[in-house]
Homo-oligomer: A and B are copies of this chain.
Amino acid sequence: MTREISETKTVTACLIVIGNEILSGRTRDANLQFLAENLNALGIRLMEGRIIPDVEDTIIAAVNDARARFDYVFTTGGIGPTHDDITAAAVARAFGRRLIRHPAAEALLLAHYRPEDVTPERMKMADVPEDAVLLDNPVSRAPGFQVDNVFVLPGVPRIMQAMFDLFKHRLAGGAAMLSRSIASYTPEGEIAARLADLQGAYPALEIGSYPFSRDGRHGATIVIRGTDQADIAQAADALRAIIRGLGGEPQDVDL
């Protein structure tokens, strides 16, 4: 896949987490935060996360919606050997492609398992949509795959992360998103008006405010994000002045 992505365009991504175990509360998702941070480092912004059940029509609708709206789509979950692993078949249907047994994936699995451990269910992990590109799995061998802008990955975080590290160089990012966080014990309600002015003065930056309380004291961490290092530094200086003006002590929290 070749994607023409300019230096200045925002490159976007969506993560679709597929799994009843997340929606039942049994398991807490860990893949969204990993992808958010690692895509960010590549200049790709995670714009949406979606957590859906192992239901074919739901997966098809979510994949087709997301691949039309975002530059990259990642799915996690549902590519193992059991009956509830239906992601590959659903993605094939989303693209209107046949599900085929991929010869290289089949060879990988046959080399990995002892002959007596080769079961039809395990070999199902070699089934991918026609013309899909395999994604190497250095941990447990069964590969993920890529179809156009959709990357299909396993749900187990350790395996997903190892796979991501192997293909991430193929993702074309845009301008890297930079950020600076400054905390103080100035409560949100006191700094809010000045913060809105600051946001108004720097429309290209994204200024977020996240309240905290520690030892009974209220404060807020202000996060300034953007692609222009100089703009961010200037806005951070202005923010420190605002905090001092309100009697607070600004603290850089991410140096």
Q: Which residues of A contact B (CB under 8 A)?
A: 17, 20-30, 32-37, 40, 45-54, 58, 80-84, 113, 117, 119-122, 156, 177, 179, 181, 188-193, 195-196, 199, 206-211, 220, 223, 225
Contacts and interface: CB of A to CB of B under 8 A. Distances in A.
A181 B20 CA distance: 14
A32 B48 contact: no
A29 B17 CA distance: 14
Contacts of A40: 24-25
A34 to B, nearest CB: 8
B211 A121 contact: no
Given A28-B33, A196-B82, A189 B20 contact: no
Nearest to A155: B210
Given A29-B32, A208-B54, A81 B47 contact: no
A50 B62 CA distance: 11
Contacts of A27: 210
A211 B33 contact: no
Nearest to A198: B83
A107 to B, nearest CB: 17
Nearest to A222: B82
Contact of A48 (B52, B54, B84, B210): B52
B48 A23 contact: yes
Nearest to A54: B208
A64 to B, nearest CB: 15
A199 B83 contact: yes
A4 B74 CA distance: 38
